[in-house]
Amino acid sequence: MTSKNILNGRELSATRRNFIRSVAVAAGTATLLPHALAQTAPPYPDPNENCMPPVTIPPSVPFKPVPRPVVQRKSIWALSSAEQRRLDEAYTLLRGLPPDDPRGWLPQAHVHCFFCSGSPGNPSSVEIHGGWYFMPWHRAYLYFHERILASLVGDDTFYLPYWDWDLPVHSVFPPLYLVPGSSLVDSYRFTGASPLTYTLDAQFQYYKIDIAKRMAAPDYQLFMGTNPDQMTNHGGVIENGPHGLVHVWVGDPAVDFSNPMPDMGILQTAARDPIFFAHHTNIDRLWAVWNATSPQHLNPADCLWTDTRWNFFDENKQLTSISVADVLNTDSSLFYNYGLGSPFAESVQSPARAFLPGEQKTTRQGKQPTTRDVELPGDVAASPLEAAEAVTAERPLLILHIDGIQVPPHLGAAVRVFVNLPTATAETPSSSPNYVGYFVIIPKVAPGGGQHQHRPTNIALDVTDELPPLLKGAKKLQVTLVPSTAAKRAPEQIDMTYDRVWVESK
Ligand code: C2O
């Protein structure tokens, strides 16, 4: 059974989308979001969408903090009814701005599209995902979004709430964003079936995404990723695990990355859904929490990071240039915090890291698992038993890197990683001791678009706990990549290649 949906003059296979939708309806959840479920298929974004900034760009002015009382951003679940109304009113006003107003709903969503490579037909050269720009860029973006909403409701104390999906009880879709008729509703979500079968917490558990452990990432490289201009760069453990999973989950609770769902499931359209901002405010909070929980949790001090600047339109339609350094102390420059006490740790230059890049070759990853033999770093190879038995605090951090991952821009990938279990399949449970982690690549654009290539993605998994026991008695290290969906089967489609697999000991 294949039904087709004609969009932009192209035919798109809609079999699976319709299947999921009919399951949601059959489960009796149609009453939650009747207008969304009435759609036959999500309208994919125009592959030729132009999300470039306006052709005549006004000169930008440098960002200057304008002091006002510091506000504390709160959880969606903690808003008073007056705050709930204010939020709804703010998005109503935002959606009502004329289409050529740079502060408006779609122009703001286009800003996100532009900063994540643009659309296939109108690519941009900027990409802030997949590395150390992810955290500060989204912080700046949220800040201007928040100021615009605040000025629309004429209330300086307005703030963006966060969706704290890291709390199991809040790992369902926030009801406030589902009230029929509310400006917080987006028609292109698959929230209907999610509370019944697949809560986010269930997904986190299935993939063993231990958020507390990720929040204990000992350095910024692991936590927020590294410089994307370096060959060995990778994204951080918040971006590559929970962040991507929440995006795709909003579009498809079964989290099948081979079938991307707008709005949230595709970066080109994600910021059209108001929940995007609540999701990212939570990511922003997790960054502040990470900074505040240990004096070792330092941001990069590298000026390649701190001096990087981006332009955003502010609440007065003034194009404003803001730097990474401008957003690091939210209390004194952006005038908000998360009530954490001192959320800002002083930056120091972190030491250069030693690494052992793996064999240079390319593996094509289809639906079947693929396995690589991987060399161990010298110190681990020299004393695998010692590494296996060391449980002291001084034992080295072991990072498994998978570099040079490429997928076509309209496809994503969800991949579980096993060590020394080349027979692993999509059915192998994540409770297997050989399961060491998981990564996801979010689709960038709609199917049927152009073929412009994206920068390859690198992944870093902390395997300090998992790896040593698996090395006991083992002659070599084998890393098996298993494409899978939350339904414990292979995805319908995957088209991925990866280059280097290597272990870093630091
Ligand atoms: Cu800019 Cu959650 O993506």
What digits encode the pLDDT tens for the residues 457-489?
Answer: 889 999 998 988 888 877 788 999 999 887 778
pLDDT at 388 over 70: no
Residues 6+ apart with CB under 8 A from 274: 91, 177, 183, 184, 186
pLDDT band at residue 24 under the 50/70/90 scheme: very low
- Residue 7 CB–ligand 1 contact under 6 Å: no
- Mean pLDDT of all residues in 168-193: 85
Mean pLDDT of the chain: 82
Element (DSSP H or E) covering residue 274: none
Distance CA 120, CA 447 (A): 10
| 198 and 253 Cβ atoms separated by less than 8 Å | yes
- Residue 270 CB–ligand 1 contact under 6 Å: yes
Distance 267 CA to ligand 1 centre (A): 6
Highest mean pLDDT among 47-51, 70-74, 357-361: 70-74
- Residue 247 CB–ligand 1 contact under 6 Å: yes
- Mean pLDDT of all residues in 374-386: 68
- Mean pLDDT of all residues in 400-412: 87
- Mean pLDDT of all residues in 394-398: 80
Residue whose C-alpha is closest to residue 257's, from 417, 418, 430, 410:
410
Atom number of ligand 1 nearest to Cα 283 = 2
Distance 381 CA to ligand 1 centre (A): 38
- Mean pLDDT of all residues in 346-351: 37
| 256 and 487 Cβ atoms separated by less than 8 Å | yes
Q: Among 277-281, 307-311, 363-367, 382-386, which is the least confidently predicted range?
A: 382-386
Residues 6+ apart with CB under 8 A from 14: 3, 4, 5, 40, 41
Distance CA 50, CA 53 (A): 9
Distance CA 288, CA 292 (A): 6
What digits encode the pLDDT tens for the residues 254-306? 777 777 788 999 999 999 999 999 999 999 999 999 999 888 899 999 999 99
Atom number of ligand 1 nearest to Cα 246 = 2
The DSSP code sequence of 133-173 is THHHHHHHHHHHHHHHHHHHHT-TT----B--TTSGGG-S-
Atom number of ligand 1 nearest to Cα 247 = 2
pLDDT at 12 over 70: no
Nearest CA to ligand 1 atom 3: 267
- Residue 139 CB–ligand 1 contact under 6 Å: no
At residue 490, the pLDDT reads 82
pLDDT band at residue 49 under the 50/70/90 scheme: confident
Distances, alpha carbon 191 to alpha carbons 28, 199, 225, 272, in Å: 13, 10, 30, 16
Q: What is the 3-state secondary structure (H, E, C) of 290-313?
A: HHHHCCCCCCCCCHHHHCCEEEEE
Distance CA 42, CA 251 (A): 9
Distances, alpha carbon 101 to alpha carbons 104, 107, 148, in Å: 5, 7, 12
Highest mean pLDDT among 62-71, 240-249, 272-281, 386-395: 272-281
Highest mean pLDDT among 4-13, 138-147, 189-198: 138-147
Q: Other C-beta atoms within 10 Å of 472: how many?
A: 12
Rg of the chain over Cα atoms, rounded to whole angstroms, equals 22
